[in-house]
Structure 1
C-alpha cells in the first residue's frame, strides 16, 4: 500500500518536513486558494508540486500523488443554466494535473457543506480530543438556531422536545460555537465561513432537489468527465457523504453499498471509482466495511483508514475513535485491501498499490492547545498511521 498524508498547503501547521518524518511516502493535497469553479493552471500545479517534492540532498523525497479535492461547483450539482463551463473547467484542471503526473483525484458531490460535526474538541477518557457528531445537538441547531423551514417534519415529537431542552440550556457562547462548528470554514469546504442567513439561502437552493435529481446531475457530470479521465489514465475516487444520510433538507446519494451499485451500474468506466472512507461509511450501522472493501475492491483508488464509535442509544451520534478501536474491524478492512492489491499485481506487475492515509486523528500530547485544522493534528494522525502500518506489516508477513 502507498502510505500518504494530507497536507493543506504552506499554512498547514504540519509541515512537509514533519510529514517526511512520519514515514509516509506520498502526499494528498489540493490548491485550496483557487476559487471553486476556476481552472487549476499548470504553473500553479507545478509550484505546489515543488513545495511538496523539492528537498535537500539526502532527505527522503515525497510525491504529490493524490488530489483531495477538486471541488465541484454548486451550479453543477444543481444543473443550473451555464453550468457546463464549470464542468469544462473541472476537466481542464484534471488534464493539467495529469500532465504533471498526478492521476488520482478524490472528490465529493455533497451539496452546500462538506463533512459536518457538532464538536471539534470532544474530550475522551484518555484526555485527548476527538471530532464528534451529536444528533441531539444537531437537532437543536437545525430546529432552534437555524430555524430551517419545515424542519419539524423530519423529527419526532420526542426529538423536538429533547432538542428544545438542549437549546434552552445552552449559553449564547455555546450556541455560537455549535453554529461555527457546523457551518464555518472546515477543511475542504468550498467557501469561507458565512452567516446563518447565507447558509439558509444556500440550503434553499436545494428545496426542490430530490436524491434522484441530484444523482442524475452527478451522472451527467461524470458522463462528461469520465471519457477524458479514461484517456488520461486518471482514476476518480468519489468520497461518501459525511454523515452518510439526508440532513438539513439536503439530499445525499453516496451513503451505502446500494448507492455505489447504482453508480457503477450506470457508469462502469474503470476510471469511475471510490474513496473508501472507512469512518464515514461506518457511521451507518447498516454498512459492513470489510464486505464493502471486498465487493468494491477493484473500484477502490484511495482509502481513508479511520473509524468511529457510535452511541449505543443513538446510532446517528458518533465520535472519531482510535484507528484500531472503533465499531468496525479495521484489520479485516486492511486485509481486503491487501488481497485486492495482490489481485491487481497478478495481472499488472507495475500496479502502484492503493493509496491510503490516516484520517481525523486525535488532538493529543504536545498538540493539545496548538492551532490545528480540526481532525488534522500531527501526533494523532502519526499514531494512526503507525497502527495501520503495523497491521499491514503483520498481515503481509502471513501471506
Structure 2
C-alpha cells in the first residue's frame, strides 16, 4: 500500500519560503503555478519547463499545478469565453507535454478564498486566518454599499455590522477592505472598491443556476481534451462555501460535487478534496463525501476550521477543529484500498497541509497569508503521524 504523496505549496522564486526550506519539511512534491502569467493567457512549454527544472534542481518534484485560473468571461458566459477556453486547452496540452498531469482550479466568481482577518491571535498567540461574518456584512453594507445588500442581511445582522464598523479606526477599515478585496493567491493584487463594483456589475444576471450552467459548458469543452492528454482536472470547493457579496457559489456541497462530476463523466473530471473549505459548512459530511465520491478525488487539501456562531469560523490546528480529521484520514485510506484492489495507478494521491498558523520564526518572514513554513510543517508532521497510526491500526503496516 502506498502512502499519500506529501506535498507543499510554493509560490515561485519570489516566495520567502524557499524550495530548500520545503525539502527540510519532509515533503517530496511541490504544488505551484506560473503566477506571473496573467489569467487567461496561454502557458508556454518554455515557461513550464523553466519552473519544472528549478523544482527538480532542488531535489523535488512538481506534483500538482495549482492553479490554472479561469478567466471571468468563462464564468459569466460572455461571448469571448470560447477564445479563453481554447487558450486554456493549449495550456493543458503544454503542461501534459512537460509531464504535468494534475491540475487544480476553482470556479469562484471574482475573488478567490476570502477572509476578514489575516492575523487572528489564538490563546497561545499563534496567528490564524479568520472569517468574521459580521465584519463581512459591515464591509458589504457600509463600505462597499452594494446594491441589494440590505435585502440579503437580516435586520439583526445589519445592526451588528453597523456596531462593528463604528468601533473601527480608519486604518482598521482600510485593512478590512484590503483583506476582503485581495486578488488571486500568489499575487499582491488588491481590487479597489470601484473595480470590484464593476466586476459585480458583470455578474448582475449570473445567479447560481447560470454559473453552474457556465461551469458545465467549460467542463464539457475541456474534459474530453484533458482525457486524451491524460490530465486530471480537480475542482477546488468554494471558500467560504456559501454566497458572499452578492456572488453565487456552485462548488459548496456534496450535491454540487456530484453535479460537477456528472457534467462530464470521464476519469479526468475530478475533485480537489479540501477539508477546510467544505468543513466551514456544518452540513457537509466530509468522511461521507470521501466514501461516496472518493473515486473522483485527484488531490487533497487537509486543513481544519473551528466553526463559530453566526457563520463565522477561524482556521484551527490541523487535528483540532470542527472536522474529525481522524475519520477523514481513515476514509481516505479506505479509498486508497479500493483503488489498489481495482488496480488503479493513482493510489498515492497528492496531499498537502493546507494553510498553517504563524508560529515562532514564521513571524520574521513576509509569507503569503496562510502559507507560513513552520505552521504548515507542523500540520504536515501531524497528518503524517495520523496516517501512519491509522494504517497501523488497520493492520496495514
1:378 aligns with 2:382: no
Any conservation in 2 of the 1:69–1:188 contact (CA below 8 Å)? no
- Once residues 186 and 260 of structure 1 are traced to their aligned partners in structure 2, the CA distance between those partners, rounded to angstroms, is 23
1:147 aligns with 2:145: yes
Any conservation in 1 of the 2:182–2:190 contact (CA below 8 Å)? yes
Alignment of 1:182-193 (within 5 A): 182-185=180-183, 187=185, 192-193=189-190
Shift of 1:40: 0.3
**4+ residue stretches of structure 1 with deviation over 4 A?**
none
* TM-score, scaled relative to structure 2: 0.96
Match of 1:117 in 2: 115
- Once residues 193 and 169 of structure 1 are traced to their aligned partners in structure 2, the CA distance between those partners, rounded to angstroms, is 24
Any conservation in 1 of the 2:118–2:369 contact (CA below 8 Å)? yes
Any conservation in 2 of the 1:108–1:241 contact (CA below 8 Å)? yes
SS of residue matched to 1:13: coil
- Once residues 294 and 349 of structure 1 are traced to their aligned partners in structure 2, the CA distance between those partners, rounded to angstroms, is 17
* TM-score, scaled relative to structure 1: 0.96
Match of 1:232 in 2: 229
Q: 1:220 aligns with which of 217, 220, 223?
A: 217
Q: Deviation per CA, 1:59-115, whole angstroms, max 9, x where unpaired?
A: xx2110100000000011111112111101111101111111110010001100000
- Once residues 45 and 28 of structure 1 are traced to their aligned partners in structure 2, the CA distance between those partners, rounded to angstroms, is 13
SS of residue matched to 1:296: helix
1:42 aligns with 2:37: no
Q: 1:347 aligns with which of 342, 347, 350?
A: 342
SS of residue matched to 2:119: strand
- Once residues 342 and 293 of structure 1 are traced to their aligned partners in structure 2, the CA distance between those partners, rounded to angstroms, is 13
Any conservation in 1 of the 2:339–2:347 contact (CA below 8 Å)? no
1:68 aligns with 2:66: yes
Shift of 1:347: 2.4
Unmatched runs of 5 consecutive residues or more in structure 1 = 56-60
Alpha carbons of 1:136 and 1:349: their partners in 2 closer, same or farther (altered >3 Å)?
Answer: closer
Shift of 1:185: 3.6
Shift of 1:286: 0.4
Which moved further from structure 2: 286-295 or 35-44? Answer: 286-295
Count of matched residue pairs: 391
Superposition CA RMSD, Å: 1.2
- Once residues 94 and 330 of structure 1 are traced to their aligned partners in structure 2, the CA distance between those partners, rounded to angstroms, is 33
Shift of 1:395: 1.3
Any conservation in 2 of the 1:52–1:62 contact (CA below 8 Å)? yes
1:250 aligns with 2:247: yes
SS of residue matched to 2:160: helix
Alignment of 1:88-127 (within 5 A): 88-127=86-125
Match of 1:290 in 2: 287
Q: Deviation per CA, 1:132-179, whole angstroms, max 9, x where unpaired?
A: 000001100000011111100001111111111111111101100000
- Once residues 189 and 45 of structure 2 are traced to their aligned partners in structure 1, the CA distance between those partners, rounded to angstroms, is 25
- Once residues 334 and 36 of structure 2 are traced to their aligned partners in structure 1, the CA distance between those partners, rounded to angstroms, is 38
1:33 aligns with 2:36: yes
Alpha carbons of 1:364 and 1:79: their partners in 2 closer, same or farther (altered >3 Å)?
Answer: same
Shift of 1:266: 2.8
Match of 2:154 in 1: 156
